Structure formats: structure tokens, C-alpha cells
Amino acid sequence: MISGHANRAVFEPIVELLLEQMAGGSPWRADGGEFPASHYADPAHLALEQRTLFTELPQMVALSADLPEPGSQITRDSFAVPLVLTRDDDGLVHAFANVCAHRGAQVVDDGRQCSRRLTCPYHGWSYDLDGTQVGLPDNESFPNIEIPRPGLRAFPVKEEHGLIWVTPNFEAATPEPGLGAMGTELAALDFEDHQHWRGHRFQLDLNWKLVIDTFLEPYHFATLHRDTVFPIFVPNLCHAERFSPHLREVLPRRTIEKLRGTPPDEWDLVPHSAIVYVLFPGSVIVVQVDHVETWRISPHPTDPGRSTVDLDFYLPELPTTESALGHWERSLDLTISTVINEDFAAMAGVQRGLASGVIDSITAGQNEPGLAMFHRSLVEALPG
């Protein structure tokens, strides 16, 4: 289980503030704002986002825990170029276009594997973990090719604080995610102590930003989630902090009340909240009481009304008994069904509403500060 103790200096004032607000019966309020509704439905705006946010900026594509050992490989298929990530024998992470140098076949099957070589299933050309081409069946038929030679095209990649970032642009510099103090905080949460368990892909009829918006305020808990989330989380109370362009939002669970009157140096925020890290532009990490989730949100290439979401569950240890397996299957199913039946169902309506052009702007209240922070990051990252 994740401990927040190493981050006590950061988390203690947040707990104090949340307890104070609960005693006063009011939300924590910070800046709200108004943002253009057309940005959810305009194909030209999506094209701008694709060119800038999703091509020029570093993307958090995986946790270090996704590549646990030398030989580990994992694919990512939601960018314009399909990716394969590897960890080599020196422990270094690489990111390649998952495209064979021979005639363009997909080299590594979708998913996760572990092997010394990446072998193309089409004609058997093979590559080392660092992308060098090392195998060429019937070498004599290719008189102009001498191996070893550089084989798979590499993308700029960086591993730090337990996260792996790729800039999906061959010409870009090494990714600089710009996490600031949030980097140290994330490193102290020790995501490496977790293992990937299962994932789920959602294909949605809504703009990618709406998926992130759903994480960014608990104002909707008492209404949209009356029978699911509302009994567990404090409605309409959160704390948010911006680490431009990223942000952290803390959503307190009702159990946080138990900390009132106890010594602050014993407080741990993690068991009494969900901590949401938005890693700009499209990745979200949620630290839950007993596990970690990543949500990777990808816009459709051309349709602003569609997006893909990849949810992954990481556990402190993989289930080894029937009852543990049942517990985690129920937990994943509940997460999926709540977001499908409640959040994404409501958001599909929002998408239609925004696409209708009836309202010019969306409004983030002072009780929705995380939402306003995310949209300010968007405004700042986009030209014009």
C-alpha cells in the first residue's frame, strides 16, 4: 500500500485545510474561470491540439513499473506513430516506432512481453533492445544492407520519478516534463513497488478534454454519483495545486474525519483520499487507498467528438488467491461501470450540448479550481 509519509510536509497542510473547510461546511475556493465551448467540438482546434500538445510536448506513456526488467517491452498505439518501449540490459529505457525497417510491419505485438530480441513476424528481421538490427534472414538477397546497423527509429524518451515520458516527434529534444516539486512528490510515492495487473480500453464519443474534466471537481458527486461515489467521498470539497502545466487535486474521503484531533505528525493523506495527478496534456495518475490507476487519454486523429481512454490498474502485489482475485475484479469492474454509466454517459450529453453551439463558454466555479487550472494550462500551451 502506498504511504504518504515521505510527503508529510506537503500533505499535512492539505489535510489541515480540508478538515477546516469540513468544519465550516464550505468548499475550498480558488480561482474559477470561463473557457471557450467551441474547443470541444471544432476540428480545426483539434488539429491545433494534435500538432502542439500531442506532438511537441512530452507525454507520460508508462510507469517504470511497466518495464520491470531487462527485456521488458510494452506497446502504445494511441499516437500517430505506434510505439514500443523496451528496457535494455543496462536498465535504460528506449522508445521506438513499432515499424519494421524492411517493409513497415508491426514488429512487436500489442501488449507486454519480455525477450532479448524484437523479431518482426512478417519475414523475421530482428532487433536488439536498443533498436539495432541484428538479424536478417537470407542476408545475400539484400546486398546493400550490412548488419548490425541502426534499425528501429527512436523517439526521445526520459525515465524519471518512476514515470516514462516520450515526445512523439523524432526531431524533438530529450523530454523535459517540467514537473517541478511534483516530481519529488511522485518519486516518494514509490510506484515502482507496484505491478501492472489489468487494463481496460474505452472508445468514447466525446472530446478528450471532457474525460480529464470529469476528474477535476467533486461538485458533481452528490448529484451524478449519488449512490456510488457520494457515500464514500466528501462532496464539493477538494484541494488543487498547479505545477504548471501539470496539477495535483486531492479529493477527501469521508474517513478523513477520523484524523481530526489526532497528532498531525501521524496523519497520512493516502488512506483518506484519492490523489489525482494530471500529467499534461493527456495522462492522469490516481493514487487510491490500495492501488494506483493510470488513465491515458488520446484524442481521435480528426474527430473532436471522439477519444480513446486506457485505464490501467497497478497493485502492490498481484492476487494469488481466488478471494484476492475476486476482490480486484470487483474493484476494476466497479471503476469501469461507474465511469461508463455515470461520468461518460453524462459527458456524451455534454459533448452534444457543446457541439450544438448553444453556449459560448464553459464556466469553472471557485469550487472547481482543478478544472480551471487544467484549462489555463491549455490556454498557455496553445498558440494564439
d(CA 366, CA 12): 23
Least CB distance to Fe ion at residue 379 (A): 24
Least CB distance to Fe ion at residue 221 (A): 7
330 binds, among Fe ion, ligand FES, none (CB under 5 to 8 A by kind): none
Cell 455534454, located at residue: 350
Least CB distance to ligand FES at residue 72 (A): 22
CA distances from 291 to 193, 272, 316 (A): 11, 13, 7
In the bound state with Fe ion, the residue whose beta carbon lies nearer, of 232 and 382, is 232
Does residue 213 touch Fe ion according to CB under 5 A?
no
- Judged by CB under 5 A, how many residues of this single chain contact Fe ion? 2
Using the contact rule CB under 5 A, the part of the chain among 56-64, 200-208, 296-304, 337-345 near Fe ion is: 337-345
In the bound state with Fe ion, the residue whose beta carbon lies nearer, of 167 and 214, is 214
In the bound state with ligand FES, the residue whose beta carbon lies nearer, of 152 and 166, is 152
343 binds, among Fe ion, ligand FES, none (CB under 5 to 8 A by kind): Fe ion
Cβ 30 vs Cβ 250: under 8 Å: no
In the bound state with Fe ion, the residue whose beta carbon lies nearer, of 223 and 302, is 223
CA distances from 236 to 206, 258, 271, 276 (A): 24, 19, 19, 15
Least CB distance to ligand FES at residue 86 (A): 17
| Bridge partners of residue 166, in order along the sequence | 59, 157
In the bound state with ligand FES, the residue whose beta carbon lies nearer, of 60 and 107, is 107
d(CA 252, CA 250): 6
Which residue's C-beta sits nearest to Fe ion?
A: 343
In the bound state with ligand FES, the residue whose beta carbon lies nearer, of 102 and 112, is 102
In the bound state with ligand FES, the residue whose beta carbon lies nearer, of 6 and 105, is 105
286 binds, among Fe ion, ligand FES, none (CB under 5 to 8 A by kind): none
Least CB distance to ligand FES at residue 80 (A): 20
378 binds, among ligand FES, Fe ion, none (CB under 5 to 8 A by kind): none
Cell of 163: 514515470
Least CB distance to ligand FES at residue 106 (A): 9
102 binds, among ligand FES, Fe ion, none (CB under 5 to 8 A by kind): ligand FES
Least CB distance to ligand FES at residue 57 (A): 31
Q: Which amino acid is at 229?
A: V
Cβ 31 vs Cβ 372: under 8 Å: yes
In the bound state with ligand FES, the residue whose beta carbon lies nearer, of 35 and 125, is 125
Least CB distance to ligand FES at residue 143 (A): 17
Least CB distance to ligand FES at residue 104 (A): 6
> According to CB under 5 A, which one of 39, 343, 362, 376 is a site residue for Fe ion?
343
In the bound state with ligand FES, the residue whose beta carbon lies nearer, of 17 and 134, is 134
Binding site for ligand FES (CB under 6 A): 100, 102-103, 105, 120, 122-125
Residues found near Fe ion in the complex (CB under 5 A): 214, 343
